[in-house]
């Protein structure tokens, strides 16, 4: 007797598209992240208490000016609810309540309130994030202490790697649109390409990212401001994964500013980074910047 074996087709799980601000995220991260010269030193400490509260302390020392610090505690409750409270050196106390998939599947809601002990109420915000297989929408509502109410909404649709999105800002008191933006993109596991038009379609950007192999990533971004009619700005960047714990990055722009960065995970509790920015046309002059970063986890 012949035997028949039923072969089941693999289940393809579709992921929601990225948020509007993340359509060009791979190239933006490659070009912007991990270059530590923007601060003389950055320190971040992450700790988890036995009761499940996650504490994060951050501090950034700029090359001049004040040394801002912040302390944050986050506690996850039942049913996708979490509460975060923070305090910073500007004496701002912030409370955030998150509801993740609590109201309905795919919906994350945030309620934020800011308070200054000396000045009183500093405003409230409500944010909504809704994800489905081919849709990602967000709404950011802002109620300022002065009573002004504004909102920004964006949405992204996807189909077989193609992305199209838009953003609009609205002032409730003026009953007027304050800004609008649009973007298109195409993404695969190996590369990402995107064209964005922001600031009421006045700043145009074209970005490309490619994962060359398991160790090398490369990307480029061109930006043009139609209002200032300035020259097109071009940035090129690359990342090399030295080993599972370390990587190096480099980038250069059309004005000759080159930046280098090195990041390594020293052990399970310490990550160290160092970086610099150099004007290649004035290497014998002052003005170059160096910075370091320390992240402690426990």
Q: What is the pLDDT along the chain (298 residues), one digit of tens a residue?
A: 444 444 444 444 468 999 999 999 999 999 999 887 667 788 899 999 988 899 999 988 776 767 788 999 999 998 889 999 999 988 999 999 999 998 889 999 999 999 998 888 889 999 999 999 999 999 999 999 888 999 999 999 999 999 999 999 999 999 999 999 999 999 999 999 999 999 999 999 999 999 999 999 999 999 999 988 889 999 999 999 999 999 999 999 999 999 999 999 999 899 999 999 999 888 877 778 888 999 999 7
Q: Is residue 144 part of a domain?
A: no
Q: Is residue 256 part of a domain?
A: yes
Q: Please name which of 225, 265, 192 lies closest in space to residue 31, comparing C-alpha atoms.
A: 192
Q: Is residue 93 part of a domain?
A: no
- Residue 45 near residue 28 (C-beta atoms within 8 A): no
Q: Is residue 169 part of a domain?
A: no
Q: Is residue 54 part of a domain?
A: yes
Strand pairing category for 203-211 and 216-225: antiparallel
Domain count, the chain: 1
Q: Please name which of 111, 81, 78, 80 lies closest in space to residue 94, comparing C-alpha atoms.
A: 111
- Residue 259 near residue 277 (C-beta atoms within 8 A): yes
Q: Is residue 74 part of a domain?
A: no
* Boundaries of domain holding 275: 34-63+244-298
Q: Please name which of 31, 140, 279 lies closest in space to residue 289, comparing C-alpha atoms.
A: 279
Q: What is the pTM of this model?
A: 0.84
CA–CA distance, 264 with 273 (Å, rounded to integer): 6
Residues in the chain: 298
């Amino acid at each position: 007797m012949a035997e028949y074996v039923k072969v089941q087709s693999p289940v393809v799980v579709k992921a929601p598209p990225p948020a509007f601000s993340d359509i060009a995220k791979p190239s933006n991260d490659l070009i912007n992240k991990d270059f530590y010269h923007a601060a003389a030193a950055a320190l971040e400490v992450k700790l988890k208490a036995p009761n499940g509260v996650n504490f994060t302390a951050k501090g950034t020392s700029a090359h001049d000016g004040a040394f801002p610090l912040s302390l944050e505690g986050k506690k996850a409750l039942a049913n996708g609810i979490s509460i975060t409270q923070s305090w910073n050196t500007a004496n701002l106390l912030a409370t955030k309540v998150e509801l993740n998939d609590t109201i309905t599947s795919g919906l994350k809601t945030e309620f934020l309130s800011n308070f200054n002990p000396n000045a009183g109420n500093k405003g409230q915000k409500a944010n909504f994030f809704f994800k489905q297989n081919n849709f990602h929408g967000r709404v950011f509502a802002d109620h300022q202490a002065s009573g002004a109410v504004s909102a920004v909404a964006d949405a992204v649709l996807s189909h077989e790697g193609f992305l199209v999105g838009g953003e609009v800002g609205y002032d409730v008191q003026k009953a007027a649109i304050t800004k609008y933006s649009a973007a298109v993109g195409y993404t695969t596991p190996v590369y990402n390409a995107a064209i964005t038009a922001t600031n009421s379609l006045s700043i145009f950007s074209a970005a490309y990212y490619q994962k060359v192999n398991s160790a090398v990533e490369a990307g480029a971004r061109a930006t043009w401001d139609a209002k200032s009619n300035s020259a097109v700005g071009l940035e090129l960047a690359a990342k090399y994964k030295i080993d599972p714990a370390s990587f190096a990055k480099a980038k250069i722009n059309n004005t000759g500013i080159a930046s280098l960065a090195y990041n390594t995970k020293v052990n399970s509790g310490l990550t160290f980074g160092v970086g610099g920015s150099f004007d290649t046309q004035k290497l014998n002059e002052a003005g170059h910047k160096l910075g370091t970063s320390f992240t402690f986890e426990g």
